[in-house]
Amino acid sequence: MTTDTAGTPTAKTRPQPPAGPPDTAPPGTGGSDFAQLSRRITAEGLLDRRPVYYTVRASLVLAAFLGGWWAMFALGDTWLQLGLAAAMSIVFAQLGLMAHDLAHRQVFTGRRAGEIGGRIVANLLMGMSYGWWMNKHTRHHANPNHEERDPDVSPDLVVWSQDQARRASGIARFIGRRQAFLFFPLLLLEGLNLSYNSFRALRSPIMKRPYLEGFLLVAHFAAYLGLVFAALPVGKAFAFLAVHQALLGVYLGCVFAPNHKGMLMVTPGMRLDFLRRQVLTSRNVRGGYFIDALMGGLNYQVEHHLFPSMPTPALRRAAVLTRDFCAEKEITYYETGLFRSYREILTHLHQTGAPIRAAA
């Protein structure tokens, strides 16, 4: 892999669209490549369940969740509650990451157990619709960074390619002019956006259990708001909610954005096999065990997209095997540091907004 003087992959190692006509697959894109890698992964037992890991992880997150609410009443009427709000945003984000693993059947083999656990963690504890998010995330996994099929790169507020920028109108066009500067401020609203979309989706035909999900969401917010206003005066309660929801959105955005933003955008004319589609559109983030915990294993985005049901603790070893395999097949495998990934995202956003600025 080509690196700069600091040991960081340079721009020319970044995935590029396949050479040749857009409707022609590059050489060696048969399904056998993924089958070969899959056999190596399976042979090392990396797809086996890890019940001890998830028992410990879930226990720690649940203890932090309950401990946070206890601490709110223990602290009482003080502005120190804003520090607790920041800490609870981390706990809620970790609940979201647990729901993610449950949705991918990383915790339980059976679908029913995963769905029950997912609705408890996502709807009841976190306040996000499991059914809505699951539908959206499944479509993302099937077509990562596809301009027309991946809901995570739809140009609702931000444009992710120059083609989207040229077609943008309304608020997306307004934001697109300076979206690199607005990206992180917009994440402050992501917590509220998750809640809004969760309730809005209850009327959608995609929801399998709308009444159950609605009941769990109402129960969550009744308890959430009830506890905050029972423990704090009105002014401090609103301040707590503002800090908690804002930092929750920033944390989740900072976890999920490095995974694909600024990587290869897939257009309808491109032909990529499963292995290359997942590898070329994904970015891994280096950083050791702290980053593993902070990002819930999503820093191994390449491996997660190739093997969605792989338990989080197996991803580190899988990354070594996948990196070596991609080198054998001459497939670009991209990884970088966390802060460099944010710089690449902002650079990409500034570049994609160029057509809007040029037309202004």
- The closest of 246, 261, 254 to 195, measured between CA atoms, is 246
Instruction: Report yes or no: 297 and 315 within 8 Å, Cβ to Cβ.
Output: yes
Model confidence at 284: pLDDT above 90: yes
pLDDT at 289: 94
**How many other C-beta atoms can be found within 10 angstroms of the C-beta atom of residue 74?**
10
Q: One-letter amino acid identity for 205?
A: P
Asked whether the predicted pLDDT for residue 11 surpasses 60, the reply is: no
Of 220, 227, 288, 179, which is closest to residue 81 (Cα–Cα)? 227
Dist. CA 119–CA 113, nearest whole Å: 10
pLDDT (average), residues 139-155: 94
pLDDT in tens, 76-118: 999 999 999 999 999 999 999 999 999 999 999 889 999 999 9
Least confident of 11-15, 111-115, 259-263, 314-318: 11-15
pLDDT beyond 80 at 28: no
In whole angstroms, how far apart are CA 248 and each of 78, 94, 152, 172, 179?
A: 21, 10, 18, 23, 20
* Spatial distance between the Cα atoms of 24 and 312, rounded to a whole number of angstroms: 35
- Within a domain: residue 2? no
The confidence score (pLDDT) of residue 12 equals: 39
CB atoms within 10 A of CB 149: 15
Residue 5 lies in a domain: no
Which carries the bigger pLDDT value, residue 110 or residue 75? 75
Residues 6+ apart with CB under 8 A from 279: 15, 302, 305, 306, 322, 326, 331, 332, 333
Instruction: Enter the tokens of residue 217.
Output: 């969401």
Tokens of 208: 């399998």
Q: Is 296 left (phi over 0), alpha (psi -120 to 50) or beta?
A: left
Q: What is the pLDDT of residues 291-310, one digit of tens each?
A: 999 999 999 999 999 999 99
Please report whether residue 1 resides in a domain: no
The whole-number pLDDT of residue 155 equals: 87
Query: Is the pLDDT confidence value at 201 over 50?
Result: yes
Query: Quick check: is 243 in a domain?
Result: yes
More confident residue, 25 or 97: 97
Q: Where are the alpha helices (DSSP H) in the chain?
A: 32-43, 51-75, 81-103, 111-119, 130-142, 162-167, 170-176, 179-187, 190-200, 210-231, 234-256, 274-280, 288-294, 301-306, 315-329, 338-352, 354-359
pTM of the model: 0.89
Percent of the chain with pLDDT over 70: 91
The number of residues in the chain equals 360
Question: Is residue 222 included in any domain, yes or no?
Answer: yes
Q: Is 146 helix (H, G, I), strand (E, B) or coil?
A: strand
Which residues, other chains included, contact 41 with Cβ-Cβ below 8 Å and sequence gap of 6+?
47, 307, 310, 318, 321, 322
Instruction: Name which of 202, 76, 193, 83 is nearest 131 in CA terms.
Output: 202
Any domain includes 299:
yes
Q: How far apart are CA 231 and CA 163, in angstroms?
A: 50
Which of 13-27, 50-64, 274-288, 343-357 comes out lowest in average pLDDT?
Answer: 13-27
State the chain's mean pLDDT as an integer.
91
Which residue from 180, 260, 301 is spatially nearest to 14, judged by alpha carbons? Answer: 260
Total domain count for the chain?
Answer: 1
- Residue 266, domain extent: 11-359
How many other C-beta atoms are found inside a 10 Å radius of the C-beta of residue 270? 19
Closest to 303 (Cα-Cα) out of 253, 259, 339, 248 = 259
Rounded alpha-carbon distances, angstroms, from residue 42 to 38, 104, 317, 326: 6, 17, 12, 17
| Residue 162 counted as domain residue | yes
